[in-house]
Amino acid sequence: CLCTNNGSCDFQQTTSITPHYHIASCDCPPQFDGDLCDLTYSGCLSPSACTINWNNQTTCVRLSSHEQLQQNRSHYCNGTCVNGYSSSDGYTCEDVNECQSDPSRCVHGVCINLLGSFTCNCMSGYRFHNQTCIDIDECSEPDIDGSFPRRCSNFEECTNTDGSFTCTCSPMFNTTGTCVYNDSLCVNDTCTDAESGGVLCLHGSVNVNNTCVPWCASTCAGFCDLINGTYQCNCLKYAGFQHSTDGKRCVECDNLEYGYGCAKQCECSHGTCNRNASYANESCICDVGYQSPDCVRLVDACESGNACNNMTENCIVDPKNGSAICSCKAGYGRNEASGICEGMQ
């Protein structure tokens, strides 16, 4: 047995040197490696060493066999953890529980810890933004589905409050102490008090310098429509779009989704998803040589649009891309100058 550094011999696993001479394999202590336990083990050779949740600039530092025995590890990491993780031992990066480290992190909501991050489950009237719960301005912001329900009646003004809103009678409709709507003061989305010059905006429009404009005119231009009495981002207007998470914009479908509201999944074996498609048979843009609707079957170029001269050439389908390959028939040869198959003399 030739094992070094307190390695033990395994006589069940041997290597034959000559018919009468066999060398036993070695079971090495954790801090040694090699056939004879004569090398210091290096944990830095592992693909996962100092890579899981460590920043890219982190380097792996080997420890000597003596240090490994003392510290009960083979290496340490010289660097920093990615955001949301920390290391107390220079060996592993552990998730930081942001909800425990700062209990006040989610005012107006409940903090939920995630791997490497956190989120807030916000109370009604608030939404998650910039890692906290902020008040929703119900008087000027849409719901997350892009709709803007009528908050108040036509003769009331909407006033945002912390976590909610209130509706109060507009002074222009309360001249006698009784709230009475007078449509003669209103044109389209705008009601104007002739005496005070005050403006009341209807249908989810907002007051911009005493002019009522649809709230969504700037956030989802081309999709901002008056629906059921209020302006909304009508993302179902065209195929290939869906509401953004805040409901204020219409954004394109993800890579494998298509249709109105991005409600359908593309299944394109050899092609790309056409997110602006309305129907399944239009949903794939096939690679060259493949047929819709799902881009699975190769186009038989010899049957459709055969480019070969059937009198002098045989047509063969290229199995790689489905294109037509023309080869001269028996008794014909290709003229290198003209490229035409001609009868051989």
270-295 per-position pLDDT tens digit: 899 999 999 999 999 998 778 888 88
**Domains of the chain (ranges, CATH numbers):** 8-41 (no CATH), 45-95 (no CATH), 99-134 (2.10.25), 136-233 (no CATH), 301-345 (no CATH)
Note if the bond before 319 is cis, omega within 30 degrees: no
CA distance linking residue 134 with residue 335, whole number of Å: 78
pLDDT-above-70 percentage for the chain: 98
CA distance linking residue 143 with residue 125, whole number of Å: 10
Contact 120, 109 (CB under 8 A): yes
Residue type, 148: F
Overall average pLDDT of the 40-53 stretch? 90
Please give the structure tokens belonging to residue 225. 């429509």
In this predicted structure, what is the pLDDT of residue 325? 87
CA distance linking residue 248 with residue 156, whole number of Å: 24
Residue 123 clears pLDDT 80, i.e. is over it: yes
In this predicted structure, what is the pLDDT of residue 20? 77
Residue closest to 55 by CA, chosen among 77, 82, 33: 82
Confidence category of residue 177, pLDDT binned at 50, 70, 90: confident
Residue type, 290: Y
CA distance linking residue 204 with residue 230, whole number of Å: 5
In this predicted structure, what is the pLDDT of residue 198? 83
Q: What is the mean pLDDT of the chain?
A: 88
Handedness of CA 40, 45, 46, 49 (dihedral sign): positive
Cβ neighbours of 233 (radius 10 Å): 29
Contact 231, 215 (CB under 8 A): yes
Residue 175 clears pLDDT 80, i.e. is over it: no
Region of 43 please: left (phi>0), alpha (psi -120 to 50) or beta. Answer: alpha
CA distance linking residue 56 with residue 33, whole number of Å: 28
In this predicted structure, what is the pLDDT of residue 263? 92
In this predicted structure, what is the pLDDT of residue 255? 86
Contact 161, 154 (CB under 8 A): no
CA distance linking residue 65 with residue 73, whole number of Å: 10
In this predicted structure, what is the pLDDT of residue 77? 95
Confidence category of residue 22, pLDDT binned at 50, 70, 90: confident
Residue type, 92: T
In this predicted structure, what is the pLDDT of residue 276? 94
Please give the structure tokens belonging to residue 258. 């298509």
CA distance linking residue 9 with residue 279, whole number of Å: 70
- Higher pLDDT, residue 11 or 59: 59
Residue closest to 315 by CA, chosen among 334, 305, 295, 333: 305
- Higher pLDDT, residue 319 or 35: 35
Residue closest to 266 by CA, chosen among 282, 287, 251, 252: 282
Element at 327 (helix H, strand E):
strand 324-328
Q: pLDDT, tens digit, for every residue of 228-280? A: 888 889 999 999 999 988 888 999 999 899 999 999 999 998 899 999 999 99
